[in-house]
Amino acid sequence: MTFRVAVTGASGFCGGAVAQMAAGRGWEVVCLGRRPGPVGTHRRWDAASETPDLSDVDAVVHLAAAVGDPGPSERVFQAVNVDGTARVAGAAGSRPFVHVSSASVYAPGPYPVPVREDHPTGGQRSAYGRSKAAAEHRAPGAVILRPRAVYGPGDPHLLPRLRRAQRAGHVWLPGPDVPLSLTSVNLLARACLDAIANAWPPGAYNIADPITYRRDQVIADALGAPIRHVPAAAARALAFAARATPTPVLTRYAVDQLTDGMVLNTTKSTAVGLFATPHPSLPTRHKPKPD
C-alpha cells in the first residue's frame, strides 16, 4: 500500500510545495483545509474550530496557520495557530507529526552570533510570533521546523512586502546592511518530508539555506533596484507612530526583520542529513496502537 501523508494548509504557498514534493516521491497526499491543494485528495477542514480526521493517514505535516503583520486579531491567531495546532496534534496521535513553526518565535535581536534552537523564545513583537511560540508547546513529541523568510516561486508574502519599500526607483531600507538567513520553499518542503522518512528525533530544528546572505544584495537582486538607507531609529519612530492605524505600512516587527541580522545555526538539521542527497526511500506505514 502507498504511504499516505496528510498536509494541512496545502492550498497555501508552503503547504502546496510540500504536497507536490510528497506526490513526486510517490506518496499519497491528503490535503486538509478550506480549499483543495495542488495534488492529492481534498478533505475540508477549518483550522479555527474543527478537529481533522486523520484516522487513515500514516503521517502528518502541519502548515496551516494564520499569518500576517499586523495580520488578524490575537483571537484569530490563538484559534488557528495555537488551538488549531493542538487539535491536529491530538488527532495525529502516535503518527509521525511535523509542525512547521517559524524563526519568528525567537526573542528579538540583534543577534551577534548565529541563532541556535535553544535561543530564548519570548518577547516577540508580533502576534504571529507569539502565537507560533505558543503553538510549539501544543505539539508534544513533534518535529518542529523553524524556517526564516521563506521564498520561492509563487511567494505571496516576502517579495510583495519588499516591493512596498520601493520609491522613485530605489528600495529604502532601515539601517546598514546586515547578514541574514533565508529559507527556500523547496528546502522547507524537503525538511518536512525527510523528517518523516528519516525519523528525525522530536524537537526544534532551524531550517535555512546553507549560505548566509547579505540583506542589501539579495533584495537589490530580487527587486532589480538599487538600495538606499534610512536611519533605523527613524524607521522605528515611524512604525511606532503608525501602530494605531488599521493597516500600518510599517511595523516594529518589520523593522526588526530587516535590521537585526538573524542568521540561523543549522547544525542540528545538517546532522540529521537535510543537505544530503538523494532523498530517502518511503518510510514505514503507520500501525495504530491497540487500545
The secondary structure of residue 105, as a DSSP letter, is: G
For 131-175, the pLDDT digits (tens) are 999 999 999 999 999 999 999 988 888 888 888 778 888 999 999
Number of H helices, E strands in the chain: 10, 14
Helix segments in the chain, DSSP class H: 13-24, 74-77, 84-92, 127-136, 158-163, 185-197, 215-223, 232-242, 252-259, 267-271
Amino acid residing at 162: L
Looking at residue 7, its pLDDT comes to 98
Looking at residue 98, its pLDDT comes to 98
Looking at residue 289, its pLDDT comes to 56
Assess contact for 188 and 13: CB atoms under 8 A.
no
For 200-237, the pLDDT digits (tens) are 999 999 999 999 999 999 999 999 999 999 999 999 99
Residues 6+ apart with CB under 8 A from 169: 225, 226
- Among 50-59, 68-77, 195-204, the minimum mean pLDDT is found in 68-77
Assess contact for 212 and 263: CB atoms under 8 A.
yes
Angle between helices 185-197 and 13-24 (to 10 degrees): 50
- Residues with catalytic roles: 128
Assess contact for 184 and 151: CB atoms under 8 A.
yes
Find the mean pLDDT for residues 168-192. 94
Structural domain boundaries in the chain: 4-152+182-209+262-271
Q: C-alpha angle with apex 150: 253 to 98, nearest 5 degrees?
A: 105
Q: Which residue in 199, 182, 226, 238 sits closest to 97, CA to CA? A: 199
Assess contact for 184 and 152: CB atoms under 8 A.
yes
A 10 A CB-CB count for 135 gives 29
The secondary structure of residue 76, as a DSSP letter, is: H
- The Cα–Cα gap between 184 and 149 comes to 8
For 274-288, the pLDDT digits (tens) are 988 655 555 666 665
Judged against a pLDDT cut of 60, whether residue 291 lies above it is answered with no
For 242-274, the pLDDT digits (tens) are 777 777 767 888 898 899 999 999 999 999 999
- The Cα–Cα gap between 228 and 283 comes to 49
Find the mean pLDDT for residues 14-35. 97
For 111-134, the pLDDT digits (tens) are 999 999 999 998 898 899 999 999
Which residue is it, cell 540583534? 110
Looking at residue 277, its pLDDT comes to 63
CATH number 3.40.30.10 is the correct assignment for the domain at 4-152+182-209+262-271: no
- The Cα–Cα gap between 215 and 152 comes to 16
Find the mean pLDDT for residues 93-117. 96
Assess contact for 185 and 193: CB atoms under 8 A.
no
Looking at residue 290, its pLDDT comes to 47
| Cα atoms found within 13 Å of the Cα of residue 189, Cβ hemisphere only | 22
Looking at residue 287, its pLDDT comes to 64
Angle between helices 232-242 and 252-259 (to 10 degrees): 160
- The Cα–Cα gap between 287 and 3 comes to 12
Integer angstrom CA distances of residue 146 from 106, 188, 235? 10, 9, 27
